[in-house]
Structure 1
Amino acid sequence: MESQPLVSVITPFFNTKKFIQEAIESVLTQSYQNWELLLIDDGSSDGSTVIAQHYADLYLEKVHYFEHDDHQNLGKSTSRNLGISKAKGKYIAFLDADDVFLPQKLEQQVAILQSQPETGMVYGPTQHWYSWTGEQQDYQRDNIRPLGVQPNTLFHPPSLVTQFLKIVGIVPCTCGLLIRREVIEAVSGFDDTIQHMFEDQVLLAKICLHAPVYVDSNCWDRYRQHSESSCSKAIQTGKYHPLKPNPAHQIYLNWLQKYITTHRVQDAELSNALEKALYPYHHPMLYFLLRVKNKVARIARKKFPGSVHRFLGTQLLGDKYIPPTGAMDFGSLRRVTPMSQAFGYDRGQPVDRYYIENFLAHYQEDVRGRVLEIGDDNYTRQFGGYVSSKDSVQRITQSDVLHVTKGNPKATIVGDLTCGDNIPSNSFDCFILTHTIQLIYDVRAAIKTVHRILKPGGVALVTVPGISHIGDYQWADYWCWSFTALSVKRMFEEFFPAENLQIETHGNVLVANAFLYGIASEELRQEELDYRDRNYQVTITIRAVKPDTV
């Protein structure tokens, strides 16, 4: 396997004099060195051509300038396809001339594709970048584009296309992608008939219908938000709206329907999602009437005496108010499918993650010395930090990542907790084990290993699900257990003294229902999240300390 295969970065540009230099510099400063940058001039007339040619002259072996015949303006898709035709790399990345890569982008994405030969593309969340202006108020507007799906997961066709149709705003940015060259060639790159809006979604749909795609939790790029971008201009002129039916969206959906039919993609969930997305265009009058009907119904519910009575009862008596039989108003919850199939990731922070991260924050002083974490080191980095805000001494001396199979580029140890003889004994000061042992059939053997690999005095910070759905995609095939505080207590007491265990439950009837529906923690009030009812155990947290003398 090549240690550093060539990556071709393709940057089309059209009148981006203000930003193109910063985009180019973000490639030049990559920690990964084996790249080529292809600057594709789409007929610029503002001076950006001169800037691009200057860098091509300055870095003759690394930066290359191309343009269309007669310096024509032919559009994004045609320009990117020109770049693909000239590219020599094993992997291909795209960077628009007003966006930037973060320094570790290529290094970390290449590592993932190198370790996962079956994966055709990798991407992570992109930062919506307002603070490039340097204005103080814009720093508060920066945000990370939601993934909308379970991170650190390999998705097989056509699951991602289905999710992109269902959830507005989770389609990845082109600057977030790294793709195998043979995959792009197999799907014939971009479609020259769609140039300016949704042209990126065309390529994404082709790839996600053709090859497995790995979605990572790391952010590697910034998508500049400014009024001169093609998306902003389309919104300003009324040609596009992210939340309303519009011609550009219809063109894309019609293309997708034809593509799926031509390539004989047969998947019921995908077909249903596409049909639902096309409904406003195929039945515009019915769609309009349905929206009016729903709006009238909402107003009517507020006006009817029964609704007023129930509203006042709820407001005055709070949780003590119980509607009479037949007077229950389930509202948005009267449905047999959840709001989210992804634990609420597509709406915000999942409810269980609220409890997990609060638990780790409470015991973050335990995250020190040699730390082991499952799957990745995100929580190790988030809660490890320094001894104090005024002390430059790091609490963590070594960070390890355990994964059950080969192929995870972040893993330093490959082993199975139920029979992991290769995991060293008495070695770890802290083991962060969040929501994992429900996927292990032999839980007792796993807890035995946890005890064995901790140093004397070492701490295991463990969380397990109580009330939960079992997820979809890869998790449903491995989810064996849900727990109670009693079952956890009895299992852990087989290996840890009772006085060395701190076991707590989190959740209540409201939180349990919200979590099952896929409602995010941000949609609940803090007092609702923090109220504990042991009869509704959504998440169970365990702090287990190995005795100093064994």
Structure 2
Amino acid sequence: MESQPLVSVITPFFNTEKFIQEAIESVLTQSYQNWELLLIDDGSSDGSTVIAQHYADLYLEKVHYFEHDDHQNLGKSTSRNLGISKAKGKYIAFLDADDVFLPQKLEQQVAILQSQPETGMVYGPTQHWYSWTGEQQDYQRDNIRPLGVQPNTLFHPPSLVTQFLKIVGIVPCTCGLLIRREVIEAVSGFDDTIQHMFEDQVLLAKICLHAPVYVDSNCWDRYRQHSESSCSKAIQTGKYHPLKPNPAHQIYLNWLQKYITTHRVQDAELSNALEKALYPYHHPMLYFLLRVKNKVARIARKKFPGSVHRFLGTQLLGDKYIPPTGAMDFGSLRRVTPMSQAFGYDRGQPVDRYYIENFLAHYQEDVRGRVLEIGDDNYTRQFGGYVSSKDSVQRITQSDVLHVTKGNPKATIVGDLTCGDNIPSNSFDCFILTHTIQLIYDVRAAIKTVHRILKPGGVALVTVPGISHIGDYQWADYWCWSFTALSVKRMFEEFFPAENLQIETHGNVLVANAFLYGIASEELRQEELDYRDRNYQVTITIRAVKPDTV
């Protein structure tokens, strides 16, 4: 049925008897039911063959076992292509035999592709999974692979390929993808000439050059970290290093250059990024000398910062060192373009998100009852929960998501804050409204709606930008305002009593500059982030309470 189109999950395996059962079970336990699992045996000589055949016999209609002629070992790309040729689904997902899907993976990804007919593929961040061992120290090592781009955004060709070349470590994991079958067939699947390293990036490049791709903020899968994986073995044997030039990377870049030329992809930013990535291979000696020069320069800057005698003099007087006119060293900041065009997402946590999430954490007791959030329910889930660690009563009774247009699968209410008559009045105990009203021209109408839809005693947790760039991709076309604490106070006091408002500013000159350059919060010290100077308002937070009726 079209409401639940068939999804083909393709799992190639080679000697993975330790993990394959857990991978298969993660598909069997999906909340989405209309799937088929294709187990592709790449010439295994251990017990994984028997395990795969057992599941195929147990679930005859759902699980299917395939192998190459004469039980050969032909590699990842050939095995996945065999799975694609046997697949019957409208959508195709890949799951390596040592990784797992989280239960909502297929349901939520299918919903996104169903609601966005123009989108060829969807993916989200993947968890680097160390805690599968059960060892206490490994739980601390689990982390989410950085997206490196603005989440909940549709990217058109060839923008993602350019970002993958520019930023190390943001290429999505194979287990994170869901792809339309027609798209994967249009690009002829994997390339059989590249089998063991970067074979996934070959497919990703083809798809991202061919069709729009939606990048979501949700994590749906776990990438098991262990010493027996093909990536770990390549690092151990010196065949691959994620941060250094290596033969496998060069093979991929040469393939990409040829592919772009053959398919006449003309994009200046992509060409420049590819040329920069190939520089260490085309000019190895110059690249080596440049690295030596940069290292020496970094050491020199650390050893001799600024004018030494003036610096020592100010230190003796207990003052901050201020370089004299003409002696300012801007260093890495002497540039007219930012480090990041995506608010710093590609480097870590954006600075404004540090303030937004600290604000919501401080007032998380307000996230209770019926909660409304814009766009998705991520913050509702993150900061909602239980009344206390000892209490099993949930604070949240109903979670709603408001979106301005149709097509968002997470939305429970479609409406515009400026004229949202269909948004029920006096209905919400909490409204999480983070960095949204700067995109609305009629701000007063939006704040009036916020007041109307809150229950008496309900709380709006609102954040707005002060000093900020207006972003890239879709935001620049809608960004209308930046605010100050004074402008926010005057507008909110038109609808909320002054005593029911708590307005705070966050930021200082260092933070403001860092945010404008796209530097992540992790690159600053906590005392730098927490120092407040009202003259440099990066983020403004508002807690607004609707008065109780008498």
Report if TM-score (shorter chain) is over 0.5.
yes
- Determine helix, strand or coil for the equivalent of 2:387: strand
Instruction: Indicate if the aligned counterparts of 2:307 and 2:323 stay in contact, CA closer than 8 A.
Output: no
Instruction: Indicate if the aligned counterparts of 1:38 and 1:83 stay in contact, CA closer than 8 A.
Output: yes
Render the CA deviation track for 1:99-128: whole Å, top value 9, x for unaligned: 111111111111111111111111111111
Render the CA deviation track for 1:248-289: whole Å, top value 9, x for unaligned: 111111111111111121222111111111111111111111
Report what 2:506 is aligned to: 506
Compared CA separation, residues 163 and 318, structure 1 to 2 (3 A): farther
Render the CA deviation track for 1:271-316: whole Å, top value 9, x for unaligned: 1111111111111111111111112222333445855446656876
Q: Write the mapping of 1:170-319 to structure 2, written as runs, cut at 5 A.
A: 170-304=170-304, 308-309=308-309, 312=312
Compared CA separation, residues 273 and 185, structure 1 to 2 (3 A): same
Instruction: Indicate if the aligned counterparts of 1:444 and 1:491 stay in contact, CA closer than 8 A.
Output: yes
Report what 1:161 is aligned to: 161
Compared CA separation, residues 338 and 314, structure 1 to 2 (3 A): farther
Compared CA separation, residues 32 and 338, structure 1 to 2 (3 A): same
Bigger mean CA deviation after superposition, 50-59 or 315-324: 315-324
2:184 and 2:539 map into 1 onto residues whose CA distance is 43
1:389 and 1:84 map into 2 onto residues whose CA distance is 47
Shift of 1:47: 2.1
Render the CA deviation track for 1:122-179: whole Å, top value 9, x for unaligned: 1111111111112221111111101111111111111111111111000000001111
Compared CA separation, residues 177 and 318, structure 1 to 2 (3 A): farther
- Determine helix, strand or coil for the equivalent of 1:275: helix
Shift of 1:331: 2.1
Shift of 1:247: 0.9
Instruction: Indicate if the aligned counterparts of 1:301 and 1:307 stay in contact, CA closer than 8 A.
Output: no
Render the CA deviation track for 1:39-93: whole Å, top value 9, x for unaligned: 1111111221111111111111111111111111111001000000000011100
Render the CA deviation track for 1:431-482: whole Å, top value 9, x for unaligned: 1100001111111111111111111221111100000111111111111111
Render the CA deviation track for 1:401-453: whole Å, top value 9, x for unaligned: 00011111110000111111111111111111000011111111111111111
- Determine helix, strand or coil for the equivalent of 1:370: strand
Render the CA deviation track for 1:175-207: whole Å, top value 9, x for unaligned: 011111111011110011111110000111111
Report what 1:353 is aligned to: 353
Cα RMSD of the aligned pairs, angstroms, is 1.6
Instruction: Indicate if the aligned counterparts of 2:311 and 2:321 stay in contact, CA closer than 8 A.
Output: no
Scaled by the length of structure 2, what TM-score is found? 0.97
1:164 and 1:70 map into 2 onto residues whose CA distance is 38
Compared CA separation, residues 336 and 315, structure 1 to 2 (3 A): farther
1:208 and 1:175 map into 2 onto residues whose CA distance is 16
Instruction: Indicate if the aligned counterparts of 2:439 and 2:478 stay in contact, CA closer than 8 A.
Output: yes
Instruction: Indicate if the aligned counterparts of 1:465 and 1:482 stay in contact, CA closer than 8 A.
Output: yes
2:315 and 2:192 map into 1 onto residues whose CA distance is 58
1:311 and 1:59 map into 2 onto residues whose CA distance is 74
1:317 and 1:52 map into 2 onto residues whose CA distance is 74
1:427 and 1:290 map into 2 onto residues whose CA distance is 62
2:300 and 2:525 map into 1 onto residues whose CA distance is 27
1:305 and 1:177 map into 2 onto residues whose CA distance is 47
Instruction: Indicate if the aligned counterparts of 2:31 and 2:106 stay in contact, CA closer than 8 A.
Output: yes
Shift of 1:489: 1.2
1:383 and 1:50 map into 2 onto residues whose CA distance is 45
Compared CA separation, residues 364 and 301, structure 1 to 2 (3 A): closer
Render the CA deviation track for 1:363-383: whole Å, top value 9, x for unaligned: 112111111100001111111
1:124 and 1:397 map into 2 onto residues whose CA distance is 27
2:304 and 2:537 map into 1 onto residues whose CA distance is 37
Percent identical across equivalent pairs? 100
Instruction: Indicate if the aligned counterparts of 2:96 and 2:175 stay in contact, CA closer than 8 A.
Output: yes
Compared CA separation, residues 311 and 74, structure 1 to 2 (3 A): farther
Instruction: Indicate if the aligned counterparts of 2:306 and 2:323 stay in contact, CA closer than 8 A.
Output: no
Compared CA separation, residues 142 and 314, structure 1 to 2 (3 A): farther
Compared CA separation, residues 195 and 313, structure 1 to 2 (3 A): farther
1:122 and 1:363 map into 2 onto residues whose CA distance is 33
Report what 2:534 is aligned to: 534
Extract unaligned runs of 5+ from structure 2: none
Runs of 4+ in 1 over 6 A off after TM superposition: 313-319
Instruction: Indicate if the aligned counterparts of 1:146 and 1:170 stay in contact, CA closer than 8 A.
Output: yes
1:361 and 1:306 map into 2 onto residues whose CA distance is 40
Compared CA separation, residues 176 and 319, structure 1 to 2 (3 A): farther
Bigger mean CA deviation after superposition, 332-341 or 199-208: 332-341
Bigger mean CA deviation after superposition, 442-451 or 432-441: 442-451
2:71 and 2:35 map into 1 onto residues whose CA distance is 26
Scaled by the length of structure 1, what TM-score is found? 0.97
Structure 1 position 403 matched with structure 2 position 403: yes
1:292 and 1:305 map into 2 onto residues whose CA distance is 20
Extract unaligned runs of 5+ from structure 1: none
2:473 and 2:460 map into 1 onto residues whose CA distance is 28
Shift of 1:506: 0.5
Report what 2:377 is aligned to: 377
1:301 and 1:447 map into 2 onto residues whose CA distance is 50
Report what 2:491 is aligned to: 491
1:263 and 1:71 map into 2 onto residues whose CA distance is 36
Instruction: Indicate if the aligned counterparts of 1:302 and 1:308 stay in contact, CA closer than 8 A.
Output: no
Bigger mean CA deviation after superposition, 81-90 or 11-20: 11-20
